[in-house]
Chain A
Amino acid sequence: MTADRNAQLADWMQMYGDWLLRTCVLILQDYALAEDAVQETFLKAWRAADRFEGRDGCSEKTWLMRIAVNTCSTMRSSAWSRHMDRRKLPEEMNLPSKEEDLTLLMMVESLPYKQRQVVTLHYFSGCSMDDLAQVLGINRSTAHYRLQKALKTLRIAYKEGDDIHD
């Protein structure tokens, strides 16, 4: 059983490591914290691997993301994150060379936490509304409402320039 779990851990890191780390960097806006969050995520998943059986139609990928998002929320509450300078993006990120792209990135990263979380999960991590509901532990309509609210915030921020449209 342990060997299976260990092999599973290796598979998870191989398949989802980059994806989870990038998501956590966008959500936490801190590379070191994001690394910790992903590490914590894999540890939690490793411990709970025996309990994961794809319940409630939740895919393995969604399950890992749910743990990661919860871990990010916990870390964000920590005293350390309160001292972070949120005006700066992590230096590990590629800053877009085009000014409008940079503006868009900065706007996303300036969103309130829950809105940034939902925008990252939907537009970066590829979570559908159902995935969002499962990952965030909220119902589908709440997920939809939260995403629309985030887009509205971005639209307002963009009111003097371009607009976000489908």
Chain B
Amino acid sequence: MTEQDLRRVLQESTANIHWSKDQQTVLQSHAAGGSVRPRKKLVFMVILALMLTATLSIAVAESLGWGLTDFFRFRQEEKILQEHPEVVQTKIPQQFSGSDNYTVTITEAVYDGFASHVVATIKPKDSSILLLDETVDVDMGIPALNLSYMEFDFFDEDAHYPTIGEWAAEHGKKPVKYGYMLSKESGGDYSQLEDGTQVLYESTYYDNGPDTLPMTLSVLFYDPEKGPDQGKQEEVEVKFTLQKTPPKWVRNFKPALEVKECGIVIDEIKLSTTVMATYLHVQFHALESETTTRRYYWFLLAEEDGTFREKAHAGLNHAGQGESLASFAPLGDVPPSTITLLITDHEDGTEHLIRVDVPQEEQP
């Protein structure tokens, strides 16, 4: 294996990846309007903001009102939520365990029985506390991660840039790390506002969850020097409940469809459409060999011409043995009579298109 092989493999493996025309159009249209809408997702915005307090006001930061649409910026969900604000829950019943040092609040959520997207804020009461997500390294050099946001235009190799820890010490800030988890496994993102407030966004997935969903958000605060075990300072939690926005329609059916090319039988399809997404859950079993049972298949929803339907970015994607779950841009208000599935063999990349009839009545 040579360095040339290394180059070739990296080139070939990414040859089909292209900067999309859609993304180009979005950026160009904003630019043509005279301004590019600034993204508010600045992981280290607090550092920048604290360094530029002379020009930024906390009042402005608070008025930003970070919410779900901000985390879904430029994604289809942003438009969906703008068109259907009624699905966003803002008055969420919640019980905070209390703290002398922090306030934790669930501010927005969407829950449709298949996915929940929750926004929470963590706000230190003491303005000298510099909250840092647990992935942030206190020894990290500040400009290295904020090139275009800082007033440093370019790096000077010989210059010493302060680390986050050094900057905090210089400005009388006390770094405190925090880690958080929801009662169910989730994935998400976070942002930091100018006043030090942390805004968390977490998505969780369900297999037709209950109408009223109880959840708990736990947050652990700790000394970054000592770590979460030795340096634990405080642990708080918020218990809250979400109300399900009912799906537009659900079709669970058992087609017992044999797909010979893949050597599998599709046992069950669960197809559900909500305001947020269409969720496709396929269960299958292998016809024969053990080899087939170890193969993983993605079942993607395709348009009639075979091109695959846009995925829900904030949605679920999972291929396991005997099952595949994925979410897509929502289908219409009534179930289609047929759907086209693009079956992708995760191992060798081969694809098969099949058409499946969808029952017009919900099967018992």
Residues of chain A touching chain B, judged by Cβ–Cβ distance below 8 Å, are 2, 5-6, 9-10, 13, 17-18, 20-22, 25-26, 31-32, 35, 38-40, 42-48, 51, 55-56, 58, 66-67, 70, 73-75, 77-80, 82-84, 89, 91-97, 100-101, 104-105, 108, 119-120, 123-124, 133-134, 137-139, 154, 158, 161-166
- Interface size grouping (class) on chain B: 35 or more
B52 at the interface (CB under 8 A from A): no
Chain B residue with the shortest CB-CB distance to A9: B31
Of B27, B135, B146, B153, which contacts A55 at CB under 8 A?
B153
Give the CA-CA distance A108 to B6 in the complex, in Å: 9
Q: In the bound complex, do residue A166 and residue B5 qualify as a contact, i.e. CB atoms below 8 Å apart?
A: no
B145 at the interface (CB under 8 A from A): yes
Q: In the bound complex, do residue B2 and residue A166 qualify as a contact, i.e. CB atoms below 8 Å apart?
A: yes
Taking A67-B148, A70-B145, A94-B12 as given, write out 14 further A-B residue pairs in contact, using a Cβ cutoff of 8 Å, ordered by the A residue number.
A6-B31, A21-B18, A26-B14, A35-B23, A94-B349, A96-B13, A104-B1, A104-B5, A105-B9, A108-B6, A123-B7, A162-B1, A164-B2, A164-B6
B139-177 near A? 1/0 per residue, CB < 8 Å: 001011111110001110100000000000000000000
Of A20, A47, A56, A95, which contacts B13 at CB under 8 A?
A95
Q: Across the interface, which residues of B come within 8 angstroms of A77, CB to CB?
A: 43, 133, 135-136, 145
| Closest chain A CB from B179 CB (angstroms) | 9
Q: In the bound complex, do residue B17 and residue A22 qualify as a contact, i.e. CB atoms below 8 Å apart?
A: yes
B74 at the interface (CB under 8 A from A): yes
Q: In the bound complex, do residue B28 and residue A9 qualify as a contact, i.e. CB atoms below 8 Å apart?
A: yes
Docked complex: B4-45 residues within 8 A CB-CB of A:
5-20, 23-24, 26-28, 31-32, 34, 36, 38-39, 41-44
Do A40 and B31 contact each other (CB < 8 Å), given the known contacts A133-B157, A162-B1? no
Interface centre among B1, B13, B34, B313 (most CB of A within 10 A): B13
Q: In the bound complex, do residue A17 and residue B14 qualify as a contact, i.e. CB atoms below 8 Å apart?
A: no
Q: Across the interface, which residues of B come within 8 angstroms of A165, CB to CB?
A: 1-3
B200 at the interface (CB under 8 A from A): yes
Q: Across the interface, which residues of A come within 8 angstroms of B43, CB to CB?
A: 74-75, 77-78
Give the CA-CA distance A93 to B8 in the complex, in Å: 14
Chain A residue with the shortest CB-CB distance to B74: A39
What would be 9 A-B contacts, judged by CB atoms less than 8 Å apart? Answer: A5-B31, A10-B24, A13-B27, A25-B14, A55-B154, A70-B144, A84-B187, A95-B348, A137-B144
B255 at the interface (CB under 8 A from A): no
Q: Across the interface, which residues of A come within 8 angstroms of B143, CB to CB?
A: 137
Q: Across the interface, which residues of A come within 8 angstroms of B2, CB to CB?
A: 164-166
Q: In the bound complex, do residue B31 and residue A83 qualify as a contact, i.e. CB atoms below 8 Å apart?
A: no
Q: Across the interface, which residues of A come within 8 angstroms of B27, CB to CB?
A: 9, 13, 39, 42-43, 46
B298 at the interface (CB under 8 A from A): yes
Q: In the bound complex, do residue B19 and residue A17 qualify as a contact, i.e. CB atoms below 8 Å apart?
A: yes
Q: Across the interface, which residues of A come within 8 angstroms of B74, CB to CB?
A: 39
Do A73 and B186 contact each other (CB < 8 Å), given the known contacts A26-B14, A43-B38, A104-B1? no
Q: Across the interface, which residues of B come within 8 angstroms of A138, CB to CB?
A: 157
Q: Across the interface, which residues of B come within 8 angstroms of A78, CB to CB?
A: 43, 133, 135, 189-190
Give the CA-CA distance A108 to B135 in the complex, in Å: 23
Q: Across the interface, which residues of B come within 8 angstroms of A166, CB to CB?
A: 2-3
Give the CA-CA distance A25 to B10 in the complex, in Å: 11
Q: In the bound complex, do residue A45 and residue B187 qualify as a contact, i.e. CB atoms below 8 Å apart?
A: no
Interface centre among B27, B146, B153 (most CB of A within 10 A): B27
B216 at the interface (CB under 8 A from A): no
| Closest chain A CB from B271 CB (angstroms) | 21
Chain B residue with the shortest CB-CB distance to A80: B189
Give the CA-CA distance A127 to B113 in the complex, in Å: 48
B283 at the interface (CB under 8 A from A): no
Give the CA-CA distance A165 to B3 in the complex, in Å: 6
Q: Across the interface, which residues of B come within 8 angstroms of A92, CB to CB?
A: 16-17
Q: In the bound complex, do residue B148 and residue A47 qualify as a contact, i.e. CB atoms below 8 Å apart?
A: yes
Q: Across the interface, which residues of A come within 8 angstroms of B298, CB to CB?
A: 91
